[in-house]
Amino acid sequence: MSSDQRFFDFLKERIGLDVASVGEAIIERAVRQRSLALHAQTADEYWQQLLACTDEQQALIEAVIVPETWFFRYPESFATLGRLALARLADIKQMRALRILSLPCSTGEEPYSIAMALLDAGLAPHQFKVQGMDVSPLSVERARRGVYGKNSFRGQDIEFRDRYFSEQSDGYLIAERVREQVRLQVGNLLDPRLLANEPTYDFVFCRNLLIYFDQPTQRQVFEVLKGLTHVDGVLFIGPAEGSLLGRLGMRSIGVPQSFAFSRHPSPAPEPVFVPMPAPIPQRSAAPIPTRPRPFSTVSAQVLPIKPPPAQSDAADLLSQIATLANEGKSLEARAACERYLQSHPPAAQVFYWLGLLSDVAGSALEAQGYYRKALYLEPQHPQALMHLAALLESQGDVAGARRLQARAARSERADSERKS
């Protein structure tokens, strides 16, 4: 039943998923799960049930989509949004409410984070509205319910939870004043009718989605995103997608760690400073992503570093690198990597961190070199394989990217077989 091209093609047509970007093993696992649920004995039997039932089609999509999200992912993005929103209101002389779009919005952490960030920045409720959209009805329903477990609150600073949530028996319920700012709906970015009658948005969040599409689909989706974004608006993306947007004609607004791009070629104006009504605590960053799961607004966490035995100093330094990177302190994290390499044998994970830090900073050539060093030391390093593949594809080396994606898929398949 595995490696059946029909299921890969179905997902490509319905949600644009490029199987090479995630590996066949993830899709094969989802097909097996759904086949067992329907008591299908063969691939043909399940395929016929899939074609005959729209509910089952959605169920397979849900099995492939694994939401992995938390509040205030990429904290600098939300701080930047607050400053830009104040400047945008001044530009339009507060004649209308700002419009913000989050897609895919997964289980709601991102659109609710947007609303909380704007309230913290001093915007009144009537000055902005947030729209969240996702292809998964189950995720949208969870977002509407607004109850979250501890896994949705990551990082050292979760003070916002005390202000915007109330604890109850099954988790933390988001405040009604935040919920009122967010409208949620089901929608597919590949649907040509998507938001056709809606005005454009001042800010659009679409993070870690484009990397799961092949190049023609990337261009198709980019045109949709560009059409949804106001000519003076800003698009927030994932860290691995910056070079892709640059190739498609957008430009970073120049705020480190914000992953914010301007639709037009001229640099975005410097945000207007407006005194805040109260000091806003700086939120610590969640881990820099390695390999995101498909169609979630955020990426999977970095795999835990496993230091060699009896090397406590090396382990401490590796932990320090991760902590600095998680807090968005790129320069300090890079310096810690250099200290590690000066006092310890080369480690693939350290070169991977250097590659990711360079990638986020926009130094593509430097990032490529570090990723290759990581793969020289550990040829099947999964995160280095996927990030180098994304980098090569953004530079037009599609064949090289596909080779690396195939290596990562084979490695994941082998790992899955060992665990089964």
- Does 124 lie in the same domain as 54? no
- Does 215 lie in the same domain as 83? yes
Q: Final residue of a domain: which of 230, 246, 262?
A: 262
Residue range 76-91: mean pLDDT, rounded: 95
Residue range 4-19: mean pLDDT, rounded: 83
pLDDT for residue 3: 56
Question: pTM for the complete prediction?
Answer: 0.62
Instruction: Quote the number of domains for the chain.
Output: 3
**Per-residue pLDDT tens for 257-276?**
888 998 655 444 444 444 44
pLDDT for residue 203: 97
Question: If DSSP codes are grouped into helix, strand and coil, which group holds residue 133?
Answer: strand
| CATH code for position 397 | 1.25.40.10
Question: If DSSP codes are grouped into helix, strand and coil, which group holds residue 338?
Answer: helix
Residue 407 pLDDT grade (very low, low, confident, very high; cuts 50, 70, 90): confident
- Does 248 lie in the same domain as 120? yes
- Does 240 lie in the same domain as 345? no
Angle, helix 43-52 to helix 5-15, in steps of 10 degrees:
20
**Residue 377 resides in a domain:** yes
Residue range 123-141: mean pLDDT, rounded: 94
**Residue 399 resides in a domain:** yes
Q: Which residues of 329-353 are buried (b: 16+ CB within 10 A; e: fewer)?
A: bbeebbebbeebeeebeebbbbbbb
- Does 82 lie in the same domain as 127? yes
Closest CA to 340 of 324, 355, 351, 326: 351
HSE, side-chain direction, 13 A CA sphere, residue 217: 19
Q: What percent of the chain has a predicted confidence (pLDDT) above 90?
A: 28
| 78, 37 contact by CB (below 8 A) | no
**Residue 302 resides in a domain:** no
**Residue 174 resides in a domain:** yes
With a cut of 60, say whether residue 45 has pLDDT above it: yes
**Residue 40 resides in a domain:** yes
Q: Final residue of a domain: which of 262, 277, 299?
A: 262
Q: Is beta strand 171-174 parallel, antiparallel or unpaired with respect to 165-168?
A: antiparallel
- Does 247 lie in the same domain as 104? yes
- Does 85 lie in the same domain as 213? yes
Residue 300 pLDDT grade (very low, low, confident, very high; cuts 50, 70, 90): very low
With a cut of 50, say whether residue 125 has pLDDT above it: yes
**Per-residue pLDDT tens for 380-403?**
888 888 888 887 777 677 777 778
Lowest average pLDDT, out of 156-170, 231-245, 286-300, 336-350, goes to 286-300
Q: Which domain holds residue 358?
A: 312-419
Question: How far apart, in Å, are the Cα atoms of 26 and each of 16, 22, 42, 381, 399?
Answer: 15, 7, 19, 18, 22
- Does 336 lie in the same domain as 252? no
With a cut of 60, say whether residue 298 has pLDDT above it: no
| CATH code for position 184 | 3.40.50.150
**Residue 270 resides in a domain:** no
**Residue 105 resides in a domain:** yes
Residue 117 pLDDT grade (very low, low, confident, very high; cuts 50, 70, 90): very high
- Does 190 lie in the same domain as 50? no
- Does 148 lie in the same domain as 116? yes
Which regions of 149-270 does DSSP assign to beta strands (E)? 165-168, 171-174, 182-186, 201-205, 229-236, 251-252, 260-262
**Residue 279 resides in a domain:** no
- Does 321 lie in the same domain as 236? no
- Does 324 lie in the same domain as 219? no
